[in-house]
Structure formats: structure tokens, C-alpha cells
């Protein structure tokens, strides 16, 4: 059996606590699905600054490049807040994302039935929501040239450029169609083609890629109406694919529909085939070291690792089913208790234990 190497960079605050539970879940599920995983732990963020004087060592980047996948916790905390921006913990995170050439960011927004009450939208609106936002991460307005400020004739001016070439669009479209194949087989491409030439190119190229995926349905949706539909009828979406700026905004809107920061996983996929998996939340210094963090976002990130880096679809489903079962059984970390709700809570390790028990069933 070939071994898949997984680099674990747990980071700071609750990062190590939640990542430990995610790793335990991977260790438990792997042998049942014929997978051999070799974990290798390294420092990132504040922990790396304290030990080595830098938020990410070259050696760790090299090890990550030789791995199948990177499992990341979170970085940052008050201890390092006064440091200059160039050497802060967040630089470690930005660097590893850049070094791995991560061009696709995948953010699922799933409403678990047991947590439907956590959304600010009505339970009947959010019931059954299970979508995946695929955002282009390395192009578009955030990176395009020319950019900058000037002061022509004493008047301040600023410009940014939205630019994509067809290859950049085609590769992210492929990620979306591939992901849809493992889901409900529907892709919505979000654009502003009535105004932007860049979006017109996206529509053209996404249509071309779609020909290779005749089993997946495709719809094109204007970004403004998509923003409205996301709060009116979020259940209609399966996979959403879009460029960087639209994706930045819509992935947060979609996440908010679920209402639970401790439940949101993410994956970023690189050109070299390496994936980086991390919960959306930060290092939560207010609860770090108290065994109070919710590890489910990290555990669901591990499920994405199984899915996207190891093509272990059954194993991934098994982990997600275990999380659903634990929530259905009423187990909650403190962050999942709704205002006014009276119920006992469990800690990070105990929540991991419950998931492991559900996996064993």
C-alpha cells in the first residue's frame, strides 16, 4: 500500500487542539479504506517565530511541496500582534499558500439539520443547504497590473485591473466540474458579463470546459442576482464557481447562512496537485488551551483532504456522516449552543471522541 505523506502545521491558539482531533479522525478512518497515511508535524505562525525566529522555514515549505496534502490549524494571537507586519504569524500562512501555488479555494457551506436554528435565516429557508463555493484565488482584480495610486493634476486617483487568461479560467472551471461530479452534478458560474469583458471570457471558457462534463448541468448567473438568491433560496445551489473578487464576497455570504464559524472547513488546491486544508476560523486566543474549541471545522477539513487529495470519497462521506450523527445525537461544544438554549456542552477532545465513536459504528 502506497503511503500518502501529510504535513501537519497546527499553528497557534486553538490550532493544535482542533488539528489533533482532525488527525485522530484521519488515523481512524484511513485503514478502513485501504489508505496508509504518514503524518509529519511542523511549526508555522507564532509557534515558528518563537522557536526559529521566522513564521515559516524554507525547510517546511520544501517538506510541504513533497507531500500530498497539508493540514493546517490557525495562526496568530496577541503575543505577536505588536510585531512588524512583514514578520508576523500571518506571513507564514500567506507564504505557504503562495509557495504551493494554490489557485482554487473551496468553501462548502452546509447546514446540518441539527444546527438549522443557528442561521440568521429562517430554518425553512436554510434547511437542506449544501453548497460548495469554488473561488479563483491567484488572479483577477487583486493581482492585475497596472495597479496603484497617482495624483495627476493634484487630484488623487487609484486603479486596479481585472485580468484573466483562458488557461486560468479553464483550470478553475475544471476543479468546479470535477467537484460537482462527486455531488449533485450542478455548477453555477457567477459573473457580470453584461458589463465586464473579463466575465464574457469566463462565460465562453466555462462553456467550453462544460463540454468535457456532459453529466454535469451548468447555469450562468449574474453576481448581483446570485447575492440575492443566496439569502432567498440558498438550497438551489450545488457548486458555485467564480473569479477572485466575487468569490471573496460570496463565500463569506454563503458561510454566514450556516451561522456557525466552528463548522466551516476549506480546501485550497495547487497547480502541483497539492492541497491545503484548514478550518475557516482563526486561532481563537480567547478560548485557546481551555479544551473549549469546536474541532468539527478541522475534522470536516480532513474530510475534504480525503476527498480532494486522496480521492477517498467513501472515507470522506463516512467522516461527514459521523459529524452529522454526533450533532443529531445532541452533542455540542459551547459555540454551537444557541442563545436561550439549555443543554450541557462538551470540550474539544470529547467532541473528537464522539466523532471517533460514530466512525466506529
Q: How far is the CB of 306 from ligand NAD (least distance, A)?
A: 20
165 is catalytic: no
Helices (H), ranges, 113-243: 123-126, 166-181, 197-210, 223-232
277 is catalytic: no
> What are the residues whose beta carbons fall under 8 Å from the beta carbon of 313, sequence distance 6 or more?
182, 306, 307
301-360: contacts with ligand NAD (CB under 6 A): 335
Query: Per rule CB under 6 A, is residue 294 in the interface with ligand NAD?
Result: yes
Query: Per rule CB under 6 A, is residue 28 in the interface with ligand NAD?
Result: no
> What are the residues whose beta carbons fall under 8 Å from the beta carbon of 50, sequence distance 6 or more?
none
> What are the residues whose beta carbons fall under 8 Å from the beta carbon of 144, sequence distance 6 or more?
160, 161, 162, 163
Q: How far is the CB of 45 from ligand NAD (least distance, A)?
A: 7
CB 70 within 8 A of CB 309: no
Q: How far is the CB of 32 from ligand NAD (least distance, A)?
A: 26
167 is catalytic: no
Applying CB under 6 A, which of residues 16, 55, 76, 234 lies at the interface with ligand NAD? 76
User: From the centroid of its chain, how far is CA 344?
Assistant: 29
Q: How far is the CB of 201 from ligand NAD (least distance, A)?
A: 31
Query: Per rule CB under 6 A, is residue 283 in the interface with ligand NAD?
Result: yes
Applying CB under 6 A, which of residues 92, 247, 259, 262 lies at the interface with ligand NAD? 262
Q: List beta partners, residue 134.
A: 106, 241
Beta-strand (E) ranges in 125-185?
130-136, 144-152, 155-161
Given the complex with ligand NAD, which of 110 and 199 has the nearer CB atom? 110
Binding-site size for ligand NAD (CB under 6 A) equals 22
C-alpha cell at 340: 436561550
Q: List beta partners, residue 307.
A: none
Q: Within 13 Å of residue 240, how many CA atoms lie on the same side as its CB?
A: 35
Q: Which of 192, 238, 277, 335 is catalytic?
A: 192
Q: Which residues are catalytic?
A: 142, 192, 224, 248, 252
- Footprint of ligand NAD (CB under 6 A): 14, 18, 74-77, 90, 93, 261-262, 278, 281-287, 293-294, 297, 335
Amino acid at each position: 500500500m502506497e503511503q500518502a505523506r501529510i504535513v501537519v502545521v497546527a499553528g497557534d491558539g486553538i490550532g493544535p487542539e482542533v488539528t489533533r482531533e482532525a488527525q485522530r479522525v484521519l488515523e481512524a478512518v484511513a485503514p478502513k479504506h485501504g489508505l496508509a497515511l504518514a503524518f509529519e508535524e511542523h511549526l508555522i505562525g507564532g509557534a515558528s517565530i518563537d522557536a526559529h525566529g521566522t513564521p515559516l522555514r524554507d525547510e517546511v515549505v520544501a517538506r510541504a511541496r513533497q507531500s500530498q496534502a497539508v493540514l493546517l490549524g490557525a495562526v496568530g494571537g496577541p503575543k505577536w500582534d505588536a510585531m512588524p507586519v512583514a514578520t508576523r504569524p500571518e506571513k507564514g500562512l500567506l507564504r505557504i499558500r503562495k509557495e504551493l501555488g494554490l489557485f482554487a479555494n473551496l468553501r462548502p457551506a452546509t447546514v446540518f439539520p441539527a444546527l438549522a436554528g443557528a442561521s440568521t435565516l429562517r430554518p425553512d429557508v436554510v434547511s437542506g443547504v449544501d453548497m460548495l463555493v469554488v473561488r479563483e484565488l491567484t488572479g483577477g482584480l487583486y493581482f492585475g497590473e497596472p495597479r496603484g495610486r497617482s495624483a495627476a493634476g493634484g487630484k488623487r486617483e487609484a486603479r486596479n485591473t481585472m485580468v484573466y487568461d483562458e488557461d486560468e479560467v479553464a483550470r478553475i472551471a475544471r476543479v468546479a466540474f470535477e467537484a460537482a461530479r462527486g455531488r449533485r452534478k450542478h455548477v453555477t458560474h457567477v459573473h457580470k458579463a453584461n458589463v465586464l469583458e473579463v466575465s464574457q471570457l469566463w462565460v465562453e471558457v466555462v462553456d467550453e470546459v462544460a463540454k468535457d462534463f456532459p453529466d454535469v448541468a451548468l447555469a450562468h448567473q449574474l453576481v448581483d442576482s446570485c447575492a440575492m438568491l443566496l439569502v432567498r433560496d440558498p438550497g438551489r445551489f450545488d457548486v458555485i464557481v467564480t473569479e477572485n473578487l466575487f468569490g471573496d464576497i460570496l463565500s463569506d455570504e454563503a458561510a454566514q447562512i450556516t451561522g456557525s464559524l466552528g463548522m466551516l472547513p476549506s480546501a485550497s488546491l495547487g497547480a502541483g496537485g497539492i492541497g491545503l486544508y484548514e478550518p475557516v476560523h482563526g486561532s481563537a486566543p480567547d478560548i485557546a488551551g481551555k479544551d473549549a474549541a469546536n474541532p468539527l471545522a478541522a475534522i470536516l477539513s480532513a474530510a475534504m483532504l480525503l476527498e480532494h487529495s486522496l480521492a477517498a470519497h467513501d472515507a470522506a462521506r463516512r467522516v461527514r456522516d459521523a459529524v452529522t450523527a454526533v450533532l443529531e445525537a445532541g452533542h455540542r461544544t459551547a459555540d454551537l449552543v444557541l442563545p436561550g438554549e439549555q443543554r450541557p456542552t462538551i470540550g474539544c477532545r470529547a467532541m473528537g471522541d464522539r466523532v471517533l465513536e460514530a466512525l466506529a459504528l
